[in-house]
Structure 1
Amino acid sequence: LTTHVLDTASGLPAQGLCLRLSRLEAPCQQWMELRTSYTNLDGRCPGLLTPSQIKPGTYKLFFDTERYWKERGQESFYPYVEETQKFHVPLLLSPWSYTTYRGS
């Protein structure tokens, strides 16, 4: 389970973006937060879960975009981005838009 976040406004990796990883727990169908982390110099967050920690199920990444932009003195339209995709979640981010796509 990986992510790569690029700041399209600056053309650089989104370093220091706070994100939270959660898993949908059965049978109550509630999200359980597993980990909070930050993107590195390359905009990646390695080691969110080790292979032995990954269980079959639905996972969600919550990206705290409002905090990221405030730390850079920038207003933004989206206070957060939540994504549920398989294995790799690439995120292209600017103050007024975001895009995700199926990574390789």
Structure 2
Amino acid sequence: MNGLTTHILDLTHGCPAPGVRIELFQINSGQLEKITETRTNEDGRVAEPILSSANIETGEYELLFHIGTYFEEKEAGTTEPPFLGKVAVRFGIAEPQEHYHVPLLISPWGYQVYRGS
């Protein structure tokens, strides 16, 4: 599978993170241009690639994960405003023919991201 995909794992509850809103932006000349928006499914994944192999281009992108709302709905004891309301992950795509997978591991107080397979 080529294109851009992601999944989110909730480390606080030890499960996938369903229903998290995700926005994708392309960065052109320092400006964010929104490309699309989606939500994670029950498995914490997106049902379809966020960018298909036909639409992916070389360049800089940003995924914006709205985790504050997710943890508020889970009644995870977060503060108002939440410590991490949104997590922005900027990354570059150098080889558009490859598969880019950007997993996010989250808690109300921290996160980890990496390029998956």
The amino acid that maps onto 1:43 is: G
The 1-side partners of 2:115 and 2:57 are apart by: 21
- 1:79 equivalent in alignment to 2:104: no
- 1:44 equivalent in alignment to 2:45: yes
The amino acid that maps onto 1:58 is: E
Residue in 2 that maps onto 1:67? 69
Residue in 1 that maps onto 2:17? 14
The 1-side partners of 2:40 and 2:5 are apart by: 11
- 1:31 equivalent in alignment to 2:32: yes
TM-score scaled by length of structure 1: 0.89
The amino acid that maps onto 1:33 is: K
Deviation at 1:22, TM superposition (A): 0.4
In terms of fraction of residues, the more strand-rich structure is 2
Deviation at 1:52, TM superposition (A): 1.1
Q: Which runs of 4+ in 1 moved over 3 A?
A: none
CA deviation profile, 1:53-90 (whole Å, cap 9, x unmatched): 11111111000111111122231421111112352211
Q: Which runs of 5+ in 2 are unaligned?
A: 94-99
The 1-side partners of 2:53 and 2:30 are apart by: 23
Deviates more, 1:4-13 or 1:84-93: 84-93
The 2-side partners of 1:67 and 1:51 are apart by: 30
The 2-side partners of 1:103 and 1:49 are apart by: 16
The 1-side partners of 2:112 and 2:49 are apart by: 23
Deviates more, 1:51-60 or 1:80-89: 80-89
The 2-side partners of 1:69 and 1:16 are apart by: 11
Deviation at 1:102, TM superposition (A): 2.8
Residue in 1 that maps onto 2:114? 101
Q: Name the Cα RMSD after superposition.
A: 1.4
